[in-house]
Amino acid sequence: MPAETAANSAIADPGRITTERRGRLFLIGIDRPKKYNGFTPKMLTELAEAYTAYERDPELWCAVLHAEGAHFTAGLQLSAFDITAELIPTGLVDPLALQPPFRKKPLVVAVKGFCFTIGIELMLAADIVVAEEGTRFAQVEVKRGLAAYGGATIRFVDRAGWGNAMRYLLTGDEFDPATAYRLGFVQEVVPQGQGFAKAIEVAERIAKQAPIAVRATRENSWICVTRGQDAAVADLAKQRAAIIKTEDFAEGVRSFNERRDGNFKGK
Q: Residues 174, 216: one domain?
A: no
Query: Tell me, what's the pLDDT at 10?
Result: 60
Q: Which domain covers residue 92, as residue numbers?
A: 3-207
In a domain, 244, yes or no: yes
Question: What is the chain's mean pLDDT, rounded?
Answer: 91
Tens digit of pLDDT for each residue in 10-44? 677 899 999 999 999 999 999 999 999 999 999 99
Number of domains in the chain: 2
Mean pLDDT to the nearest integer, 117-128:
97
In a domain, 7, yes or no: yes
**Band of residue 78 on the pLDDT scale cut at 50, 70, 90:** confident
In a domain, 264, yes or no: no
**In angstroms, how far is CA 168 from the centroid of its own chain?**
21
Domain boundary among 189, 207, 225: 207
Q: Residues 124, 241: one domain?
A: no
Q: Residues 119, 232: one domain?
A: no
Q: Residues 173, 65: one domain?
A: yes
Q: Residues 122, 142: one domain?
A: yes
Mean pLDDT to the nearest integer, 115-122:
97
Centre a 10 Å sphere on the Cβ of residue 208 and count the other Cβ atoms it contains.
16
Q: Residues 61, 121: one domain?
A: yes
% pLDDT > 70, the chain: 96
In a domain, 240, yes or no: yes
Give CA–CA dist 157/191, Å, rounded: 28
**Band of residue 4 on the pLDDT scale cut at 50, 70, 90:** very low
In a domain, 265, yes or no: no
In a domain, 266, yes or no: no
Helices 162-169 and 152-160, axial angle in degrees (round to 10): 140
Q: Residues 198, 241: one domain?
A: no
Question: Range with the lowest mean pLDDT among 5-9, 182-186, 235-239?
Answer: 5-9
Tens digit of pLDDT for each residue in 35-45? 999 999 999 99
Q: Residues 135, 198: one domain?
A: yes
Q: Residues 152, 238: one domain?
A: no
In a domain, 122, yes or no: yes
Tens digit of pLDDT for each residue in 133-153? 999 999 999 998 888 989 999
Q: Residues 168, 221: one domain?
A: no
Alpha helices (runs of H) in the chain, residue ranges in sequence order: 3-9, 41-56, 118-124, 152-160, 162-169, 177-182, 195-207, 211-227, 229-243, 247-257
CATH number at residue 249: 1.10.12.10
pLDDT higher than threshold 80 for residue 250? no
CATH number at residue 194: 3.90.226.10
In a domain, 262, yes or no: no
**pTM (two decimals):** 0.90
Q: Residues 130, 226: one domain?
A: no
Query: Tell me, what's the pLDDT at 255?
Result: 78
Q: Residues 121, 225: one domain?
A: no
